[in-house]
Structure 1
């Protein structure tokens, strides 16, 4: 409750939560408001927003309803962000916790592996994984998670390095607690707050990476995602710019929502940021 009250004192956190709830509501109401297949032909191609009352946001260059595509695309984008962040944070927590808790040669080995991943830009590595394993939605989502684990790993490692010699850890070790219960029960819960905050950043980055892939025509063409809509509008960007601008605005709002929620979580979970 204390953390919730601290979050509600953050204007950025409240704005982010409202925006995120709006995006989630759009995803949940997609079937009710737009029961048709979002990939199906809905009307004459390239109708501008407002030209047809039945299609309030117009149609793209394939004649698909942009409004329906937008609502159904919210599901895909949120799913990509959620699953990719779980994969990235899960790997990062595992590697960072082991490296920070044990130190020594274990830390050196795992950090060299981490640095090897960091030498290659995330998007370049993502392109390689998609080229090798395919562009299905599941492959893209896992690949985004695999290229994003290094930052959470270093964050968790730094937290474990600062916590492993604290009094409560030494006391638990003195009582005979084994390493695994000590890591999971004592150290990890105290290291999680900054990781939870960073998870919102990972979600935003995941949505942007999928959109970048789709813009290059490398995403799964059989799904209704915001990135695919932007990619479809690439060929008519100079004349019917709204085809790409509308999903681009949706991505902007969603990324902004995650960023503001992360700022609110930081205000709530970081004791140095809380108002006494």
Structure 2
């Protein structure tokens, strides 16, 4: 409850939460407001926003409703962000927990593997995975999670190194609790707050990575994605700039909302750090 009070005392955190709720509401209401396929042809191509009351955000190069694609795109972005974050955090927590708990050679080997992954830029590695395994939505989402796990792994390792010798862990060892129980029942719950906070960073980056892939026409073309819409708008950017600008604003607002929520959680879990700043 105290952390919750700290969170709602921060205006940026509250603004971020409200913006994120708006995006979630868009995703949930997409099917109700736009019952047709968002990728179906709806009217004349390149109708400007507010020019036709049927298409209040206009139409794209092919005559598809931009508003429908924005609302359905909220579903895709949130889905990719959440699932990719879960994949990245799950991999990172397991590797970081094992490395931090056992230390020694196990820690050395796992951290060398982590560093090897970090030497490759995330986006380049992602391009390789998409080129090898395909560009459907499931593959892209898992690939984003796979390239994003090293940072959560290092964070988890650092938390485990600071917690593994605490009194409550030693007491559990004395009672005969096995290593798996020590890792997942004793240490991990105490290490979770900073990991949860960092998950917001992973989610924001995941949304940006998918948008970058879609902009390069390397993501799934069969879904209403904000990145796909920006890619279409690139061809008419000088004249009908709104085609790319509208989904760009949607991405900006969503990433900003997730970042503000993450910062708010960080301040709520670490009020002393906020006071020092």
Q: Does 1:64 align with 2:75?
A: no
Q: Summarize deviations over 1:205-251 as a string: whole Å, max 9, x none.
A: 01100000011110110001111111111111111111010000000
The unaligned stretches of length 5 or more in structure 2 are: none
**In the alignment, which residue of structure 2 is the partner of 1:113?**
113
Q: Distance in 1 between matches of 2:139 and 2:106?
A: 30
**In the alignment, which residue of structure 1 is the partner of 2:160?**
160
**In the alignment, which residue of structure 2 is the partner of 1:204?**
204
Q: Distance in 2 between matches of 1:15 and 1:140?
A: 30
Q: Distance in 1 between matches of 2:135 and 2:58?
A: 28
Asked whether the 8 Å contact 2:100–2:161 carries over to 1, the reply is: yes
How far is 1:169 from its partner? Answer: 1.2
Q: Distance in 2 between matches of 1:183 and 1:169?
A: 9
How far is 1:274 from its partner? Answer: 6.7
The normalised TM-score by structure 1 is 0.98
The normalised TM-score by structure 2 is 0.97
How far is 1:5 from its partner? Answer: 1.3
Q: Distance in 2 between matches of 1:124 and 1:239?
A: 32
Q: Summarize deviations over 1:169-227 as a string: whole Å, max 9, x none.
A: 11221222111111111110111000000111111101100000011110110001111
* SS of match in other structure, 1:236: coil
Q: Distance in 2 between matches of 1:115 and 1:267?
A: 29
Alignment of 1:109-188 (within 5 A): 109-188=109-188
Asked whether the 8 Å contact 1:26–1:71 carries over to 2, the reply is: yes
- Paired residues, number: 275
CA shift in 2, pair 1:201/1:212, >3 Å:
same
**In the alignment, which residue of structure 1 is the partner of 2:254?**
254
**In the alignment, which residue of structure 2 is the partner of 1:266?**
266
Asked whether the 8 Å contact 1:50–1:57 carries over to 2, the reply is: yes
Asked whether the 8 Å contact 1:46–1:61 carries over to 2, the reply is: yes
Q: Does 1:220 align with 2:230?
A: no
How far is 1:52 from its partner? Answer: 0.7
**In the alignment, which residue of structure 2 is the partner of 1:194?**
194
How far is 1:273 from its partner? Answer: 3.8
Higher mean Cα deviation, 133-142 or 4-13? 4-13
Q: Distance in 1 between matches of 2:94 and 2:238?
A: 47
Higher mean Cα deviation, 266-275 or 39-48? 266-275
**In the alignment, which residue of structure 1 is the partner of 2:77?**
77
Asked whether the 8 Å contact 1:6–1:274 carries over to 2, the reply is: no
Aligned residues: CA RMSD = 1.0
Asked whether the 8 Å contact 1:193–1:270 carries over to 2, the reply is: no
How far is 1:31 from its partner? Answer: 0.8
Asked whether the 8 Å contact 1:215–1:227 carries over to 2, the reply is: yes
Q: Does 1:97 align with 2:136?
A: no
* SS of match in other structure, 2:230: helix
Asked whether the 8 Å contact 1:50–1:58 carries over to 2, the reply is: yes
The unaligned stretches of length 5 or more in structure 1 are: none
Asked whether the 8 Å contact 2:215–2:228 carries over to 1, the reply is: yes
